[in-house]
A and B are shown apart, each in its own frame.
Chain A
C-alpha cells in the first residue's frame, strides 16, 4: 500500500461519517429551505425565497440566542478563569487531580436531570421561597432569562475551565519567576505574562462554549419555560409541531450563516490578539 493510500484509509471512517451525517443532511436542509410547505406537513420541492422572507417572524428566537450565547460565554469565562488559575497555579499537585475530577463530576449525571434540579431550585419552592422568608417577596426566577443564563453557566462551566486550565498548567512557572526577577509586581506579571500566554486556552474555551450555546435547546426549554427560547427551540417547534420543514430549514440555514459570520469575526479578533501582543506587553 502506498503512503497516500494509507493516509486515505486513516481518514476513511471519519470522512464517511462526516459525509453521511453532516454534508448530506446540510445539503438536504439547504434544498428544503428553498421549498414550500406541503399541505400535510413536510416539504414540496420548489425554488422560492418565501421562507427566507418570513425569517423576521422568528426574530425573538434569534435575539435571545444572540444575546444569551455571548453573555453566557462571557459569564462562564469570568467565573472559569479564576477557578482554572487557582487549579493550575496555586493548588498543590497532589490536590490538583482530585479537584479536577470534582469539576467533571457533574458530567456524570445527565444535563436533563441536573436541569430538573435547577427547575426546583429556581421554582416557587426553591430560592424564591427562601427569599420570601427573609422578607424579599415576589421574586420570580424560573422561566426568566436569568434562569436560562444560570443554567447555561452551570452546564458549560467545565468546558470553559478545562482549556484554560491546560494553558495555565502548561505555562512555564519559571517565566513568572523571571518576570518577578525583572521587577514586575505580581499583578503586572499576571497582566504581562500569565494572561497573554493563556489566550489560546481562553480562545478555545470561548469558542467551544459559544458554538454549543448557539445550538442550545434543552436549557431554554426547561428553564425558560417557553418564554425564553432559543433558535434551537424554534427549530424543534417548526419541525416537530407545525411540521413546516421548509421554513424550519430556512431558520436552520440562517442560524448557520449567523454562526459562520460570528466565528469569522471572532477568529480575526483572536488572530489580532496573537500578533499585536506588543501592545499588551508594552503596557
Chain B
C-alpha cells in the first residue's frame, strides 16, 4: 500500500522541488487557457492534473514539455527558469495520448530514438543495452523487431512509455495515456504505471479527466477548472475535505443541498436551505454569514434504516453494485438524493425495494458546508 503519508498539505511539498510554475498564464488569442498558475512539483512525486476537457490541463503539460511558451510567468526546472528552452533541450519526456510512435521504425528503433539524439554519441552497444533493459521494464522482451502497426494498443503504449523513460527524464509527462485502452487493460496499466514510477523514482505528471485514474495513482492531484487551479491535495484530502462544490462533485459523488449560512458558531454551523429547511454541518472553507453555500454529504455517509430517528424518504430506485447498494430516494422537501448502503447492513436487514419508505440519517459533523460554485 501507499507508504507515503498524506500530510502534503495542499500547495507545499515535503520533497525537493523538481519543477515549479510561478504565476504562469497562457492565452491563445482571446482564450485564456491557463491563468496565474502556481504549483511546485516534488522530486519522485506522482502528480495528476484532473479536470474536464478544456480546463487547461493539457496546456500545462505542454508548457512543461516546452511545446508552448507561457504568455506570462516562469517555469522552473530543477531550479532554473526554462521558459525559452526548446523542447529538444529539456530533460523532460512525454507519453502522448495517441502515443505518436514513429511508423517507419521498429520497436527497438522507436525506443532508442532519444538515445540516438545524444551528443556526444552513445556507442551502438550502449544503445542496444539500454533498449533491451527498457523493453524488459515494460515487459516487451521479444518484440524488438516488430513494426508499430503490428502491435496492439496496450503494447503500443508500453513502447511509448519505454521510449520516454529510457532517457531518464527529470519529469515524465503523461497525456491521458489510458484514454485509448479498454477498461480492464486500463486497470492493469494503472497498477503497472504506479509500480514503474516507484521502481524508477522518476517524477510523473499525469493529465486525465478520469477521477478514478487520478485517485488510484497519484500522490497529489491538482484539480483544474477553466484555466485555474481549484485545489491541490492528496486524493484522500480532496475526497474528505474538498474546498468547493466543484471539487466535491468532481472527486467522487456527493449530494448537494444549497442554502445560506444563518449562524456561525464554534463547531456546528446552521444553514437555511432554499427549501426552507435548516441543516447543520461543519465549515469546509472560510465562509461568512449570509453567504451562498451548499451542504455536501457523500452517499456512503448517509444511512438508510427502518427504525430510529431520521428523515422519512421513499425509495425511487435501487441499484445493486456488489459491495454496495445504491438507493435513489426522495424526500418531501429535500428532493431526490443518493444513499449508499454497504453489503453488510443489507445482509443484516431486509433490503429496501422500490416504493418502500425508510428513514435516512447522518452525522452532522460530516456534512460539509462548501462554497456553492
Q: Residues of A at under 8 Å CB distance from B?
A: 172, 174-175, 177-186, 188, 192-193, 196-197, 277-278, 281-283
B243 sits at the interface (CB 8 A):
no
Which of A183, A197, A281 contacts B88 (CB under 8 A)? A183
Q: Are A178 and B100 in contact (CB under 8 A)?
A: yes
One of B67, B96, B104, B117 near A197 (C-beta < 8 A) = B104
Chain B contacts for A185, CB-based, 8 A: 88, 117
Which chain B positions have C-beta within 8 A of A197? 103-104
Interface check B183, CB cutoff 8 A: no
B167 on interface, CB distance cutoff 8 Å: yes
Contacts of A181 in B (CB 8 A): 65-67, 87-88, 92-94
Cα–Cα, bound, A282→B92 (Å): 22
**In the complex, what's the smallest C-beta–C-beta distance from A252 to chain B, in angstroms?**
40
A283 to chain B, nearest CB (A): 8
**A180 and B86 form a contact (CB under 8 A):** yes
B109 on the interface (CB 8 Å rule)? yes
- In the bound complex, CA of A277 to CA of B118 (Å): 20
The verdict on B158 contacting chain A, using a C-beta distance below 8 Å, is no
CA distance A172 to B98 in the complex (A): 10
Is B167 touching A182 in the complex (CB atoms < 8 A)?
yes
* Interface size range on B against A: 20 to 34
Q: In the complex, what distance in Å separates the CA atom of A281 from the CA atom of B114?
A: 11
Report how far A180 CA is from B90 CA in the complex, Å.
10
Interface positions of B from 68 to 117, Cβ below 8 Å from A: 86-89, 92-94, 96, 98, 100-106, 109, 113-114, 116-117
Measured in the bound complex, the distance between the Cα atoms of B86 and A239 in whole Å is: 64
Question: Which residue in B67, B102, B118 is a CB contact (below 8 Å) of A183?
Answer: B118
- Tell whether A277 pairs with B117 under 8 Å between CB atoms, given A178-B96, A178-B100, A185-B88: no
Report which of A174, A184, A186, A281 forms a contact with B109, defined as CB distance below 8 A. A281
Q: Are A183 and B104 CB-contacts (below 8 A) given A177-B87, A281-B109? A: no
Does A188 lie within 8 Å of B98, measured CB to CB?
A: no
Separation of A174 and B116 alpha carbons in the complex (Å)? 19
| Complex contacts, A183 vs chain B, CB 8 Å | 88-89, 114, 117-118, 167
Task: Check A177/B109 contact, CB under 8 A, given A182-B114, A188-B117, A197-B103.
Answer: no
Residue of A nearest to B118 (CB): A183
Q: Which of B92, B104, B106, B163 has the most CB of A within 10 A?
A: B104
Chain B residues whose C-beta falls within 8 Å of the C-beta of A182 in the assembled complex: 88, 93, 113-114, 117, 163-164, 167
Q: Which residue of B lies closest to A283 (CB)?
A: B116
- Known A180-B86, A183-B117, A197-B104; further 17 A-B contacts with Cβ < 8 A: A172-B98, A177-B87, A177-B96, A178-B94, A181-B67, A181-B88, A182-B163, A182-B164, A183-B89, A184-B88, A184-B113, A193-B102, A196-B104, A197-B103, A278-B105, A278-B106, A281-B113
